[in-house]
Structure 1
Amino acid sequence: MRYGIIGAGAMGYRYGVLLQEKAGVPVDFIETWDPNREQVREQGGVYVSRDHENRHLVPINIYAPEEYDDHPDVWIVFKKQMQLADELKRDAAAGLFTDDQYVFSAMNGLGHFEKLAQYFNPDQMLAGTAMIATVLNGPGDVDFMGPENGEAMHMAPYNDQAPDETMEEIYADFQRATLGPEMSNNWLGMCLTKVAFNAVCNTLCTMFEINMGQFGSYPGAAEMAEQLFNEAHDAAARAGIKMIENRGQQVQSVLDSCVKLKYHYPSMYQDFSKGRPTEVDYINGYIARLGRKNDYPCRTHEFVTHEVHLAEQMRNSKN
């Protein structure tokens, strides 16, 4: 199958490059950030490192939406939540989407699948989550964090039905690409489990401007994680959503990740440190809204959402 990557950022590059190099399938990148697209064309591809080592150039095909005239079988979407609606509108206006295409996304936070469903048949949508740390150093330069074959992800049909033949092919391609896929039949519980994880690691590392290892070394890290997970799981239970990990497993997942990726700064921190808006409203804010909707205020998530926005305001006032 042919894949189109919408968003040549850290995760878009990782999925696309691994599919191209490991699975041997054709991949095209759609990129609306002009400096990134122009840099890739000037240097003849994207520079790829792993844990800051073995930097090498990988040739790729990259286009603005209006330049692209091919037909992928599957779109893989990695955009920031705040940018997605405008991206999809521009891509649709350029004629990129057709009724026979499938779409997969493992973006951070929640709120994007409703937007995707405006352009794709929900029966042809795959939800995903990725426990994969990646850093975009700059235009045309990406760093894959973690060891070879250490990638891990979940995927599930958006309609919670059994995967069809095309979805099974996508799963097989992800396996060959060493992305470590696991198939689920509970897309919302799967995604909310990852949102809860990010609501701990991404948000707390951003608030204190620290990496994963520094957070994990704090003696109270497990207790802080447990407090946030308890609220998220209680809100999910009241909404009738079954998480795919229990509270204890999620706390342990945070602690394990803080060891495995001890030098990694999560994507929310990367955005914050570069003066970009964070996705906290789609992570902690999503959990807070879910709780309020089901008469269970998640006061810690509400508080830290405000804290991140306050930090953004103070950062912007200094610039």
Structure 2
Amino acid sequence: MKYGIIGAGAMGVRYGAMMQENAGIDVDYIETWEPNIERIKEQGGVSIARDHQNRHIISVNIYRPEEYHGHPDVWIIFKKQMQLAEELERDSQAGIFHSDQYVFSAMNGMGHFEKIAKYFPADHIICGTAMIATRMDAPGNVDFMGAEGSEQMHMARYNNERPDAVVQQVFDDFTKADLGPIFADEWKGMCMSKVVFNAVCNTLCTMFKIQMGQFIAYDGVKEMARQLFDEAFDACERAGIYLIESRQEETDSVIAISKAYKYHYPSMYQDFSKGRPTEVDYINGYIAKLGREHDYVCKTHEFVVHEVHLAETMR
């Protein structure tokens, strides 16, 4: 199958490059960030490395939406939550979406699938999460974090039905690309498991401007994580959402992932450090909103959201 990736940022490039290099899959990129487009065309592709080693250029097909006349079988979307609605509207007006296409996304936070569902039928939407650390240091310059084979992701259909032929082929292609896909039975619990993880690691690392290895070295991390996890799990359970990991498994995951990616700055900090808005409203803020909708106040998450926005204001 042919794939089109909307967003040639850190994760879009990670997926596209691994699909091209590991599985020989045909990939096109749709991009709207002009400095990125210009740099990629200037250097003849995307410059990628893994853990700062073996940097090389891979050739990519990159287009603005209005320039694109291809017809991928599947779109892969990796945009920031704050940019997604505008991106989808521009893509739609450019006429690049078609009724037979499927779409996959493993963006951070929550709220994006509702936006995607305005343009694609529910049975053509594949929800995903990715425990895959990647950083974009400059336009056209991406660093894959973590050893080869450490990639892991989950996927489930938006309608929660069993995989059809196209969804199974996407799974098989991700497997060939060494992206480590795992099927989940239900998308909300799957996605909230990643949101809850990010609500600890991404947010706290951003507030203190530290790498994940520095974060996990603090003795009080387990207690901090449990406090945030307990609120998040309580809010989800009141909403009838059951995560694919237990509270203890989430805590264990924070420890294991932080040690595995000890030199990694989470994506929220990458945005913060470059003066961009963070996605905290779609992570801790989403948990807090979910809680209030079900008569439960996530006091710690609400406080953390204010702290991050205060830090943004004081940059």
TM-score bracket relative to the smaller structure: over 0.9
Q: Which residue of 2 aligns with 1:198?
A: 198
Correspondences of 1:32-43 after superposition (within 5 Å): 32-43=32-43
Secondary structure, counterpart of 1:151 in structure 2: coil
How many angstroms apart in 2 are the aligned matches of 1:18 and 1:299? Answer: 41
Secondary structure, counterpart of 2:314 in structure 1: helix
Correspondences of 1:153-302 after superposition (within 5 Å): 153-302=153-302
Per the TM alignment, residue 124 of structure 1 is displaced from its structure 2 partner at its CA by: 0.5
How many angstroms apart in 2 are the aligned matches of 1:39 and 1:255? Answer: 37
Secondary structure, counterpart of 1:182 in structure 2: strand
Specify every segment of 5 or more residues in structure 2 that has no aligned partner in the other structure, as ranges.
none
Q: Which residue of 1 aligns with 2:19?
A: 19
Q: Displaced runs of 4+ in structure 1, greater than 3 A?
A: none
How many angstroms apart in 1 are the aligned matches of 2:131 and 2:41? Answer: 30
Q: Which residue of 2 aligns with 1:129?
A: 129
Per the TM alignment, residue 42 of structure 1 is displaced from its structure 2 partner at its CA by: 1.0
Per the TM alignment, residue 197 of structure 1 is displaced from its structure 2 partner at its CA by: 0.1
Amino acid at match of 2:127: A
Per the TM alignment, residue 185 of structure 1 is displaced from its structure 2 partner at its CA by: 1.3
Amino acid at match of 2:95: G
Q: Does 1:118 align with 2:111?
A: no
How many angstroms apart in 1 are the aligned matches of 2:203 and 2:225? Answer: 11
Q: Which residue of 2 aligns with 1:61?
A: 61
Amino acid at match of 2:54: N
What is the RMSD of the two structures over their aligned residues, measured on CA atoms? Answer: 0.5
Amino acid at match of 1:31: E
How many angstroms apart in 2 are the aligned matches of 1:53 and 1:21? Answer: 17
CA deviation vs aligned residue, 1:184-243 (integer Å, no higher than 9, x gap): 111000000000000000000000111101110000001100110000100011001110
How many angstroms apart in 1 are the aligned matches of 2:257 and 2:25? Answer: 30
How many angstroms apart in 2 are the aligned matches of 1:168 and 1:288? Answer: 35
Q: Mean alpha-carbon deviation: is it higher for 189-198 or for 35-44?
A: 35-44
Per the TM alignment, residue 6 of structure 1 is displaced from its structure 2 partner at its CA by: 0.2
CA deviation vs aligned residue, 1:62-94 (integer Å, no higher than 9, x gap): 000000001000000000000000000000000
How many angstroms apart in 1 are the aligned matches of 2:199 and 2:80? Answer: 16
Per the TM alignment, residue 257 of structure 1 is displaced from its structure 2 partner at its CA by: 1.0
CA deviation vs aligned residue, 1:271-317 (integer Å, no higher than 9, x gap): 000000000000000000000000010000000000000000111xx
Give percent identity, aligned residues only: 65
Aligned pair count reads 315
TM-score of the pair, normalised by structure 1: 0.98
Per the TM alignment, residue 122 of structure 1 is displaced from its structure 2 partner at its CA by: 0.7
Per the TM alignment, residue 38 of structure 1 is displaced from its structure 2 partner at its CA by: 1.0
Q: Which residue of 2 aligns with 1:102?
A: 102
How many angstroms apart in 2 are the aligned matches of 1:262 and 1:41? Answer: 33
TM-score of the pair, normalised by structure 2: 1.00
Specify every segment of 5 or more residues in structure 1 that has no aligned partner in the other structure, as ranges.
none
